Structure 1
């Protein structure tokens, strides 16, 4: 999955994922994909935190994304309540870079260390 994301802006990577609705409570990608994104793309932050969600943007909304073994690799699974009627579909997805993810997680109420950029 890490090869699917490329530089986009100062705050985001751009990638393309298959986005589908699922019965989970929070958005998720395959656990191995979650680990690889952290290890490859967030290595620049010198701190890889696998216990903290990634932050992705689809359309106009940001949301935390966790790893889940039940989600196929290369797929972003969105809870049915939030999925909308245009799914499943192959879609552009923005992945927040470490500093932006840290900021967005704070806004969402996650307890984030001020000294650490979390991925």
Structure 2
């Protein structure tokens, strides 16, 4: 789950409150509650986002380097970095934007079903 700290349009959007909790918390909780994933991993460059993500049950095993947290770095590079970091481990099923508090358990179940059936999903 990519979550960089330097948003220009909405400052600190991943940890801003939305209906009583940080925006990133909605996505983390939905992913965990779906029971589709063994782990929820957040890739961030920001220690405060990392702390919030951990508080809501995600793992943040590394901080993303600054060169992968600018306005021009795409999700593919962020995912490649995470995969490289987990070298030798199997990375599980879901990559999504944390700025989507409307995604729910059904979304994750649908995504997981696609992974199981076709061994891939594009979201």
Structure 2 length as normaliser, TM-score? Answer: 0.28
Q: Which has the higher contact order (CA 8 A, sep 6+)?
A: 1
- Which protein has the bigger helix share? 2
